[in-house]
Amino acid sequence: FQADQQVSLAKNGTYCFYTYDKYHNFGYQIESVDYIDKEAPSLTVVDHSDASQGTLSLDVTLHDVEGADRCRLYIGFDQDYADLLGIPAAEVEAGQAPEITSLEVPLIDAWQAKTVSQTGIYEVIVTDGDDGERHVTLAGAFRYDPNNSATTIDRTVTLHAVDGSGNRSQDWSVTLSAKNEPTAYVKGELAKDGFMATFSKPVQIIKPSESSLSLAYSPVKTNLLIYQNGSYLIQGTDIFGDSFEREVIVNQFDELYSCTVTVSKTEPTNQNVEVLLNAAFNTKIRLELPRSATGMAVTPVLNGQGEAIGAKIVMSRNGSINFRLIPVDTAFPAIDRTVEIGNIDKSSPTVEVVWSYAAEVVDGKTGGDVTASLLADEELAPLQNTGTTHVFTLDDQTPYVFHYSDLAGNSGSLTATLPVEIVEKTSAEADNTPPDYELSIYQSIGGVSSKVASYSKTAYESLPDKTDAYPLFSGLLQLRFQIFDANQTILSVTDGPEQGVFVSGTTVSVTENCEFTVLLTDAKGNQTEVPVSITNVDSTPPTGTVTYVQTGRYSVRGYLVISDEHEVTLKNTSGVLLETVPGPHYGQYYHDFLDNESFTFIFADVAGNIGTTVAAVTGLDMSEPVGSIKQWVPCYIDADKVPHYGQLAEAPTNGDVSVYIRFDKP
């Protein structure tokens, strides 16, 4: 064959190529090939769906000779249902049978949908099995068809897998007679943090607000701000983006513990949030309130006996409000309630300008328009009609001022000044050099982003294990690239997951454990590959327990024992000391109780997850001793010679007088 011809190899092996030129000079080249994979993966499925309730639940096991961790899983539906979901039909040539359009299932360790899901899947759990298997548990729901009056409709679900070499497994299909109904409220139950409501489909609740810092679609909502029986209007969206509104009757609360909780603001705000506790209408209980602390000002409302029957609590930062409802009739137990406040944001958004070029940049000059875009660590709203992007042209190169605000109302401005000069279009010199870069890694904790590491291209490439570059984080990690090249460049991501990785300009935002490759491509086609492997997502808050030690007749010490895989820092230091005396509690934080009260320890791990533990002491006897006279000496003796020991003699005496008093406690 000719020297420029290709040779196709059909199987793995060691090949020796012999060559000779027109002068019959011989040579050879040995090549070993071990990466040909023509064997399709397989999957086994166990169906746990309850179609009568409109739910989809499948346990999938993926198998592949090269390891199932390279496999991707896809789901498809019959065409009628796909049309309802808005999934376009696959394009096929004339005369061919129609094909099912399939969408990829996010194979992440523990994934929950935070945005609308076209497939209806809202939860995926992935675990590794024996012999390279992967076990996937996925949960989903079926969408309501308002144009079909049937109460049940047959829906066909099809799964297939594709391995890293592109081999496709055989399809697995099941037809379910799915319940056709709009999102419905199923039941309500009591929860410590409020009211727990169950719906027929996974939902996000808009009103009343969910007291959660990270909203996700789920059929069970555990902490709605409902604390009293009554009629409530619940509004939200289901996993398909369909809005719903339901009037719900709540009657699960015991009227003995009836009280009201009013939160002044539930949407994002940069103002203080006022929480009103009111039990004045319920004379059968009194309140045990938290003490004022940093970020929480408590003003109790007392009755005529000095007992708390309400409170105004002003929260200047996010946190938990723990209070207790205590029946006046002590035959009934006290119960604890918690109100979570997580919508306060008083920090200005972190914003920077990202530049994109319509033409090459040579020696600080370009022959095309230049676009400036705002990149922030949270959603922005433009102010004063300035928008979030601006295009600089040859005739308009003056600095541009952006005005913006985040959803909580924190505003700011940023001036964008052209980093290059726009000139008349000219031809550019040839460029064969791939882009250079500097990578800065930002970790977001509590809505505030801070730089934790920075690498040049050489320093990053020299890392033997790329996972070492990325810290523990919870929520959001940003990879911000500063690209150096003589021409216009673009940043893209390849070989990455469908969920958890987002690209905006020259910044890659990551919310899940994942592996992917960042491609930096200049206008001449030169590319730089940046492999990324992130394994340090930690979304589990630390937990703590309290050990109580009696330190005196009227004092108890509560020692905090924290449980977490990583280093934990105490956040509230007021009222907390560190044990320095050698012994079983050496090195532990503690709070001294000098009265019957509760105290909340607040702590955070290095990833930014906040944990709290409530310590409470109720057994201290703080009442004054009560005494009663048992005998006077001399005592009163009546006319019948009967002594009255509790009464002093009336006759004058020139001797000592003694009295014996008995107290109700030592």
pLDDT digits (tens, 9 = 90+) for 591-638: 999 888 888 888 888 877 888 898 988 888 777 888 888 899 999 988
Could you tell me if 2 and 14 are in contact, meaning their C-beta atoms sit under 8 angstroms apart? no
As for how many domains the chain has, the answer is 5
pLDDT of residue 5: 63
| 552: in domain | yes
**Domain endpoint, select from 226, 253, 280:** 253
pLDDT of residue 213: 47
**CATH number assigned to the domain comprising residue 305:** 2.60.40.10
| 582: in domain | yes
pLDDT of residue 3: 54
The dihedral region occupied by 409, where left means phi > 0, alpha psi between -120 and 50, and beta the remainder, is left
- 213-217, 383-387, 547-551, 605-609: range with lowest mean pLDDT: 213-217
Q: Are 111 and 208 found together in one domain?
A: no
Residue 211 has pLDDT above 80, yes or no: no
| 495: in domain | no
Q: Beta-carbon neighbour count of residue 364 at 10 Å?
A: 10
Q: Are 656 and 608 found together in one domain?
A: no
pLDDT tens digits for range 293-319:
899 999 999 998 899 999 999 999 988
Residue 212 has pLDDT above 70, yes or no: no
**CATH number assigned to the domain comprising residue 191:** 2.60.40
**Domain endpoint, select from 344, 373, 403:** 344
N- to C-terminal Cα separation, the chain: 109
- Structure tokens, 638: 């009546």
- Structure tokens, 171: 């399809």
Instruction: Report residue 90's pLDDT band, with 50, 70 and 90 as the boundaries.
Output: low
Residue range 1-28: average pLDDT? 69
Instruction: Report residue 60's pLDDT band, with 50, 70 and 90 as the boundaries.
Output: very high
Residue 21 has pLDDT above 70, yes or no: no
pLDDT of residue 428: 46
- 24-28, 532-536, 618-622: range with lowest mean pLDDT: 24-28
Instruction: Report residue 214's pLDDT band, with 50, 70 and 90 as the boundaries.
Output: low
Could you list the beta-strand ranges (E) of 239-394.
Answer: 243-250, 260-263, 273-278, 285-288, 296-302, 308-315, 319-327, 335-341, 351-357, 361-362, 365-366, 370-376, 380-382, 389-392
Q: Are 190 and 291 found together in one domain?
A: no
Q: Are 193 and 174 found together in one domain?
A: no
d(CA 231, CA 200): 20
Instruction: Report residue 15's pLDDT band, with 50, 70 and 90 as the boundaries.
Output: confident
pLDDT of residue 340: 84
Residue 377 has pLDDT above 60, yes or no: yes
Element at 13 (helix H, strand E): strand 13-20
Residue 44 has pLDDT above 60, yes or no: yes
pLDDT of residue 4: 57
pLDDT of residue 289: 93
Contacts of 12 (CB under 8 A, 6+ apart): 33, 34, 35, 36
How far is CA 348 from each of CA 38, 56, 155, 610, rounded to the nearest angstrom?
Answer: 54, 42, 48, 21
pLDDT of residue 477: 87
Q: Are 234 and 296 found together in one domain?
A: no
> Averaging pLDDT over each range in 9-23, 170-184, 651-665, which range is the top one?
170-184
d(CA 254, CA 277): 17
Residue 64 has pLDDT above 50, yes or no: yes
Q: What is the DSSP letter of 581?
A: S
Q: What is the DSSP letter of 396?
A: B
Residue 93 has pLDDT above 60, yes or no: no
> Averaging pLDDT over each range in 311-315, 550-554, 637-641, 658-662, which range is the top one?
311-315
| Domain coverage including residue 653 | 627-663
Q: Beta-carbon neighbour count of residue 553 at 10 Å?
A: 9
pLDDT of residue 97: 53
Could you tell me if 83 and 98 are in contact, meaning their C-beta atoms sit under 8 angstroms apart? no
**Domain endpoint, select from 179, 202, 218:** 179
- Model confidence, pTM: 0.50
- Structure tokens, 34: 């071990």
Q: Are 249 and 262 found together in one domain?
A: no
With a pLDDT cut of 70, the percent of the chain lying above it is 93
| 465: in domain | no
| 612: in domain | yes
Residue 208 has pLDDT above 90, yes or no: no
Q: Are 205 and 260 found together in one domain?
A: no
pLDDT of residue 605: 83
Residue 328 has pLDDT above 60, yes or no: yes
Instruction: Report residue 31's pLDDT band, with 50, 70 and 90 as the boundaries.
Output: confident
d(CA 1, CA 7): 9
| 339: in domain | yes
**Mean residue pLDDT across the chain:** 86
| 649: in domain | yes
Q: Are 204 and 227 found together in one domain?
A: yes
Q: Are 188 and 162 found together in one domain?
A: no
Q: Are 68 and 151 found together in one domain?
A: yes
| 296: in domain | yes
Q: Are 70 and 197 found together in one domain?
A: no
Per the model's pLDDT, the better-predicted residue between 391 and 101 turns out to be 391
With a pLDDT cut of 90, the percent of the chain lying above it is 34
Q: Are 153 and 233 found together in one domain?
A: no
Per the model's pLDDT, the better-predicted residue between 459 and 488 turns out to be 459
Per the model's pLDDT, the better-predicted residue between 379 and 601 turns out to be 601
Residue range 189-200: average pLDDT? 81
Q: ∠ CA 290-292-296 to the nearest 5 degrees? A: 100
Report the number of secondary-structure helices (H) and strands (E) in the chain: 2, 51
